[in-house]
Structure 1
């Protein structure tokens, strides 16, 4: 059975052995709330005699798939995060992410490995605001962080992951004393392999790789990650990046989203960032075939709709965009489809649009 750090605490409870913790999780599974049941099931998997766990990818860019993840890689990742953020034994940490997914699982592993005092609550928007406790470390998705701005004075270090950090959130974090970071990583890399400080004197537009992680580009210009101790083989991503030096990079977008319009490459994620302040409904930028340009930019919004026509959105919103980046058409979908972690299933939404009757 895998070892548990002697300083580890779970909601204030200490455990003399892994066996005692396992017994606690069995009771928690029977009597706990939904998020506690998820936690107990992961802890049981973590404490069994297998040298791996089974987890799944988010499904934001395709069908979710199961991955066999070595526990040794998760322990290694936990130690590197502790080193990078100077978080040692008795760190007061809040788990407000689902233990069904890698981000929540890794919060547990960090606590078990590094000896943290872990406070576990439901993965809600109110996770931080409804408690008076102070924390050395909290990990959140962007929506939780935005909802928690008024309560961040209770947090020493904030790690944001699981989605794109909006310009609005990044600007709001400039006025808080909490050390805020955004993570870069994926299930295949056992959570993050790089961090970007987004406020304070160390703020940067570039992610910095964790110690011992080396980076390169493939022939497409996409990031390749070599992370000994985490992955035995290089992890080839679909993320287009720009290097500052051998360990620092700026994320540009996903190659499978890039739009080639008349020979000009357009990164949807950058157009979306420019439109954030203009739209108060969920949206994304995509492409559709164009007989002259090859592809043209379109805007898809979650909006009351009839046959794909969006309500309340007009092309005047695009006046500040470069001409080639301006959406040529606006589509509305009454309800977007999302992954379990809150990311838009872009391909599924676009397939709905393709089914709409075409105007003659």
Structure 2
């Protein structure tokens, strides 16, 4: 088993093949102009915070269901999480690791921490929808959100690099059936991750491609899971979180100790006494709709709540009438949207997730 370095005083950062110690990191950070808001500046600022005397660092939640919240997390717990991932994926010293996530969120910070504990060679790329566009060679390890993977598949050169990534983990949002189908024959391992800011990135993974592809997540060995009375997932991950965490994710467990996510509790719509899960409605429609859309609800005097479909106008997609027809053909009567609302642009968070709170507000307005 590979030994990982969890002594911050003995760590160094390897970036694009160059190793930096604390003094060099501080010198570079101080010499970058204050008005320079480049991604490289953000990286060296975080590294400076990592090597300071504080035991914790500040992160922000993604804000997919509300306003992003600041959170202080322990460096020791971040390193424990990093070791779990590096060990699971068998990452080795000097393996290249692509950093293409914003550094204010846990996902980006954890890529850096993994590089520090495992001695990985960090390749920083300014976060964008096409993180592979300027690369000549594929990294050994990469963490991306579904949107970045989808965009990379649309460009032949980027798709080829994506295929060559030895260990690709995808998080920050659900992988729909179309994306999973596009990745199923890729030669190297692709994993969907489950986690959140509070668990310091992921605590479970599931295989997306190959013969072992599954919709069931396997928790790390040190993680225990169960269901609450409301059917939501409860996580006990003592290495990364000092208390049991009751999530909002409605889940199902199997006899192997694995779980799959059915949707979020706050995405459950009670329409006329029938409980409907937004994610299940969206999964059914994604098989048939090319028009970008989100599902939400608005109050209704008769049904309590009704389902509303927000669609993004523009481009060569289905007409309003075609969307209505598709809904009638593929959805049960009680799942069908009672209203279809066109928008110039669907609300998304900075990390590319559906902004459910804004979607609901827009529908109500």
Distance 1:246 1:51 in 2: 37
Shift in CA distance, 208/26, structure 1 to aligned 2, threshold 3 Å: farther
Is residue 12 from structure 1 mapped to residue 17 from structure 2 by the alignment? yes
Aligned partner of 2:123 in structure 1 is 119
Aligned partner of 2:3 in structure 1 is none
Shift of 1:29: 6.2
Superposition pairs for residues 50-199 of structure 1, below 5 Å?
A: 50-149=54-153, 150-151=159-160, 152-199=162-209
Aligned partner of 2:49 in structure 1 is 45
Unpaired segments ≥5 residues, structure 1: 305-309, 356-360
TM-score, length of structure 2 as denominator length? 0.89
2:360 aligned residue (343, 346, 350): 350
CA contact (8 A) 2:97 2:123 kept: yes
* Residues 227-279 of structure 1: per-residue CA shift (max 9 Å, x gap): 11211111111000000136310100000111223333221111111111433
Aligned partner of 1:204 in structure 2 is 214
Distance 1:29 1:145 in 2: 33
Aligned partner of 1:307 in structure 2 is none
Distance 1:130 1:35 in 2: 15
Distance 2:225 2:22 in 1: 37
Aligned partner of 2:325 in structure 1 is 316
TM-score, length of structure 1 as denominator length? 0.90
Moved more, 99-108 or 286-295: 286-295
Shift of 1:153: 2.6
Aligned partner of 2:283 in structure 1 is 273
Shift of 1:31: 9.4
Is residue 242 from structure 1 mapped to residue 252 from structure 2 by the alignment? yes
* Residues 48-76 of structure 1: per-residue CA shift (max 9 Å, x gap): 11000011111111121110100001000
Aligned partner of 2:233 in structure 1 is 223
User: CA RMSD for the aligned pairs?
Assistant: 2.2
SS in 1 for 2:42: helix
Unpaired segments ≥5 residues, structure 2: 1-6, 154-158
Moved more, 19-28 or 63-72: 19-28
Aligned partner of 1:358 in structure 2 is none
SS in 2 for 1:314: helix
Shift of 1:28: 4.9
CA contact (8 A) 1:4 1:18 kept: no
Shift of 1:330: 1.1
SS in 2 for 1:131: coil
Aligned partner of 2:4 in structure 1 is none
**How many residues are matched?**
348
Shift in CA distance, 209/351, structure 1 to aligned 2, threshold 3 Å: same
